[in-house]
Structure 1
Amino acid sequence: MEFFKTSEGKLGKLFETEAFVEKVSFLDVTEYHEDNIRNVFEQCIKSFIDSNWEATEVVWEEKTSVEKAIANQEPKMLSIVIKKTASRNLYYYGDNQLSYEQLEAKLNMIPESIPEVKKAKRYSRFVTFFASTGGFLIGYPLGEAIGGAEEPSWDLAATGVIGLFFGKRFMKLTDKHYEKAVEIYNSKAIIL
């Protein structure tokens, strides 16, 4: 396929096969499609006007097995379920466990829950900072001790434990705000 310039300066395509060579410009294609769209639109409007705005009854002969199964189902609430564990909350949508990104995407669908999600995200940054810093401060002296250092820096490990303590506190605040956002989401959940 090669490109060529039309007399209007626009690009066109040259289609070449063993049977034929044809030049098609962008202008030709759009005019052809616009004519087709215009014709279909005019036919739709004409059919609508001819119907005198009367509703017509559609009769279904037989429902398929899938349609029958859907019709017999009970309404299902699309809600997020919280499962509390010792370290953090787990969030489920149906049978699927949600990551924090997926949870935030679901919660951001309801405008009333967005402020709580923002607060939870703010606290989760502190969780990340304190947990990673605390883990490093505990791991460094342990590495020294395993490596055979005469006097590992155990004061760093104590500082790391304090960092983990603060990380745990901020995790509780994060979960508290996510719980509020989930509560708002579930109160506005859609019934299928």
Structure 2
Amino acid sequence: MFTGIIAERGTVVALEQQQGSAVLTLDVPTLADDLGLGGSIAVNGVCLTAITREGGRIDVDVMGETLDRTTTGSLKAGDLVNLERCVPAGGRLDGHVVQGHVDGVGALLERENQGTWDRLRFSVPAQLARYIAEKGSIAIDGVSLTVTAVSPADAPEQWFEVGLIPITLAETGLGAKRPGEGVNLEVDVLAKYAERLLAFLDRGLS
């Protein structure tokens, strides 16, 4: 489990496409120091498994499902990525419960500077919009954020907004995100579980 609090940024060395999968190589400043083989690390919000490590450089496996449902397949050498290690038992939950299981890809529609902070509006796939609520939580490229506004349920194109404070602008990739660029979205898992439970209750199953 992760919390959506980015620890540092890493650099993409290479993305080697294979048949139905890929291997992503990253330079990691410090988070790889105690990352054992098979250990988990969130890369732009995607939970990936370390398969090799040499100093501060790691390789992680990326399966086809991940390539299909995230922006990982578009990474290229030199790109900076948000990194977070899984939270230890007893660790602080400073953000919200983030699994690293990306639900889909959105895109930055617009950003507006508000003085010391920025307002960002993102598109969201229609099938995910019902899980996003004003003042609820969402992970964008692995960053835990509070939703400040949402589109009406009957809007032809669904969107939501967040506000980024100075430290988020400076320490994550969202500070340099430009309109049109894609982002990984993970909605609140509690909303998905609630919907699944209600679906069974409506059928008289409990």
Higher relative contact order (CA 8 A, sep 6+): 2
Q: TM-score, normalised by structure 2?
A: 0.17
Compare the two structures and name the one with the higher helix fraction: 1
Considering only CA atoms, is the larger Rg found in Structure 1 or Structure 2?
1
Q: TM-score, normalised by structure 1?
A: 0.18
